[in-house]
Every structure is written in structure tokens, then in C-alpha cells.
DNA sequence: GAAAATCCCATGATATCCCATGAAATCCCG
DNA sequence: CGGGATTTCATGGGATATCATGGGATTTTC
């Protein structure tokens, strides 16, 4: 297990804690980062989460700008300043901060969406809408690429 | 913990003391600098703060100018001459000098913004305005780097 | 000797730790 | 192959530690 795969939805308890899906915890353990690195996505009501691999990806996007340059300051303010490092308790749970919950519109449950080297946190119903939107868009793209054909070998799963 | 991450806002007490966020103190402890190195930000009403890594970064940005050149003199006057080293008390608090408070327009509370190897001090409401600007700038940069790569969803992040 | 800075301790809110529980998935042995 | 035994996992709750903040007391500074 070295990639975040699949989607899970868990509930927050009275103290605001959520269990990170067990398979995601296994990936984090391999990644070797103590805690959960969380960064709000810029144009989605979601939060990117992960460990070292996510963090270094973000850091590296900063290295192309010299320190003290305007762009470097702007980027680090948004990417690092808005990020949070959540502690993972002994049972594999985290407490989401108010900023994270506000940004993603999260109430009493969270959907964890695996995306390889990172995963995203969503408010469940918002994620369902987003996924539908993404599928429709994918269909459009395929239609344009393969006019008059059905995509061979590229499945999108059962249509609902 | 080796980077300043996330944003915190704390209040000054009657004696002018503010707690440095605990996670930032942990980073400073690793960095091994006794005190808090503070340097007014050149073009912003903010103050850069940190430990050894900030200090060496400032020194290195000076080496790109020949010693005794006008630019070197000017920059070192500003960057080093205007810097201050604040004492950190046993409870992890500092007392901001009048210069710092004046430069950043700080009243009765301070926002600490993590930026990796350093963090910034802001007057809270001023920071909110700046953050909005920073996000817009990040959008521009993303657009230039990833042309035609739009998010599939129709939602955009919540505006505050 | 007075004002300011520093040290030390108090306190309430919040976060963290540790153990319990029940349901579901997995295993195991016939 | 099957069904009971065991483990895993998400969730819950009480006890404990951490942290920001406040204030008195002592030391420093000029």
C-alpha cells in the first residue's frame, strides 16, 4: 500500500473527531510523516490531505520563486499559511479545525477521496455533486475525442 | 516539525505580551536560536520573524550584491539595521517593540502566518485583506502554468 | 527609587490520551 | 465449502495534559 485509493465516508463524533480510513492510515505510516498535512484547495470546497509526499510537492512549487520575491510571499502565504498539520491520535483520528470545516462546508461527516499521493476531504453531498459533474465532463470529452464511437477499453464504470 | 505552518491569531495582554503559537515555538526550538529574530517586511505592513534559518536567508540574499556597493549598504541598513531580536519568556511569549507595532499597525492582537522557514506578524484585519490578494495571485500563476486545466466542478471556494 | 522588564504561578478552555463497545470483515478449522 | 471464532475498525466517553492568558512578585535599568 503506497497510494491512497478508493472513497470512504466517516462521521464526526461529539468532540469533532473523525477516523481516517484504515487503508489511508497505512499509506501515511509508510510515508513517514507524523500528523496529517492539510491544505485547502484553491477553487474547490475541499481540502487536500496527505503526508510528506504532499508536503514536498507543495514546497517544490515554491522553490521556483526566489525567497523574498513577491510571488514567493504570495504563494507561501496561501499554500503554507492556509495549511494545517492535524495530530493523529492513537486510534487514527483527527480533529478538523474550524477553518477546514468552513472551507469544505463540513458538518457531521466527511468523505475521504483517494487520489494517489494525496487524498481529499469533502462534505459528502457536495462530493457526490462534484463527482457527477466530473463524469459528465468526462463523457463530453470522450465524445469529442471519439465521435461516433464508444470508448473501447476505457471504462467509466456502470452508468447510473 | 521543522517548518512554520498554518495561521494563528493571539491577543496581547495588558503588559503587551503575546504567546507565540506552540507549534511555532517547537520549530524555533529545533532551529536552535535563542530569541525571536524580527525584520520588517520591505513592501508590506508586516514583520518577518524566525530563527537561524531566517537570519541566514537574509544574509545570503545580501551576498548577491557586492560588499560596500550602494545596494548592499542600503539593503543591510534596512534588513539588518531594522531587525530586532525579541526575548522569549518562560511561557513562550514576546513583547513587541513600538517599532514593530507601528510598522505592522498592530493593536491588541497579532496574526502569525507560517511561511515555511519563517513566519510573518500581521494586524489581523490587514492580513485578511492581504490573504485575499495572495489567493488571487495564486490563481493567476496557476492559470499561466496550467493553461486549459480547469477544475471539473462548478463550485469555487467559499468567499469570505 | 520609580518604571519597566522579567520570572513564576494560577486558571479555564481545549486538545490529547487511554480504554470500552459493537458491528463488520476476516480467518480458521472442520 | 461453511459457519463459528477472532480481529479489525469506527465510534464513544472519562480522565489527563497542553496552551493561551492573566496577574502578583521580584529584578533590572537609568
- Distance, CA of A133 to CA of A140 (rounded, Å): 11
pLDDT at B156 (0 to 100): 38
Q: What is the mean pLDDT of chain B?
A: 87
Query: Can you give the distance from the CA of residue B15 to the C1' of nucleotide D24 in angstroms?
Result: 13
Q: For residue B75, what is its C-alpha cell? A: 539593503
A85-90 contact pairs (CB < 8 A, 24+)? A85/A35, A85/A36, A85/A37, A85/A38, A85/B1, A85/B5, A85/B6, A85/B23, A86/A35, A86/A36, A86/A38, A87/A35, A87/A36, A88/A20, A88/A25, A88/A28, A88/A34, A88/A35, A88/A36, A89/A17
User: What pTM did the predictor assign?
Assistant: 0.88
Residues 53-82 of B with CB under 7 A from strand D: none
Binding-site residues on chain A for chain B (CB distance < 8 A): 37, 40-45, 59, 62, 67-68, 70-71, 73-85, 102-103, 105, 126, 129-130, 133-134, 137-138
- Contact list in B for residue A40 (CB cut-off 8 A) is 157
pLDDT at B160 (0 to 100): 41
CB contact under 8 A, A80 and B115: yes
More confident residue, B72 or B15: B15
pLDDT digits (tens, 9 = 90+) for A101-155: 999 999 999 999 999 999 999 999 999 999 998 888 888 888 888 776 655 555 5
pLDDT digits (tens, 9 = 90+) for A4-18: 999 999 999 999 999
Q: For residue A17, what is its C-alpha cell? A: 473527531
How would you label A95-115 residue by residue, b for 16+ Cβ within 10 Å and e otherwise?
ebeebbbebbebeeebbbbbe
**Residue B150 — very low, low, confident or very high, per pLDDT cuts 50/70/90?**
low
Q: For the ranges A45-54, A58-67, A130-139, B143-152, which has the lowest average pLDDT?
A: B143-152
Amino acid at each position: 500500500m503506497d497510494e491512497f485509493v478508493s472513497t470512504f465516508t466517516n462521521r464526526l463524533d461529539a468532540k469533532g473527531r473523525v477516523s481516517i480510513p484504515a487503508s489511508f492510515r497505512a499509506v501515511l505510516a509508510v510515508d513517514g510523516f507524523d500528523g496529517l498535512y492539510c491544505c485547502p484547495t484553491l477553487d474547490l470546497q475541499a481540502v487536500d490531505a496527505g503526508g510528506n509526499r504532499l508536503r514536498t510537492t507543495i514546497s517544490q512549487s515554491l522553490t521556483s520563486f526566489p525567497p523574498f520575491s513577491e510571488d514567493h510571499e504570495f504563494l507561501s502565504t496561501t499554500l503554507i499559511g492556509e495549511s494545517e498539520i492535524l495530530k493523529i491520535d492513537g486510534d487514527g483520528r483527527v480533529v478538523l479545525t474550524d477553518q477546514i470545516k468552513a472551507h469544505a462546508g463540513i458538518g457531521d461527516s466527511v468523505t475521504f477521496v483517494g487520489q494517489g499521493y494525496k487524498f481529499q476531504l469533502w462534505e459528502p453531498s457536495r462530493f457526490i455533486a462534484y463527482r457527477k459533474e466530473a463524469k459528465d465532463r468526462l463523457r463530453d470529452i470522450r465524445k469529442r475525442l471519439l465521435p461516433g464511437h464508444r470508448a473501447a477499453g476505457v471504462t467509466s464504470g456502470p452508468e447510473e
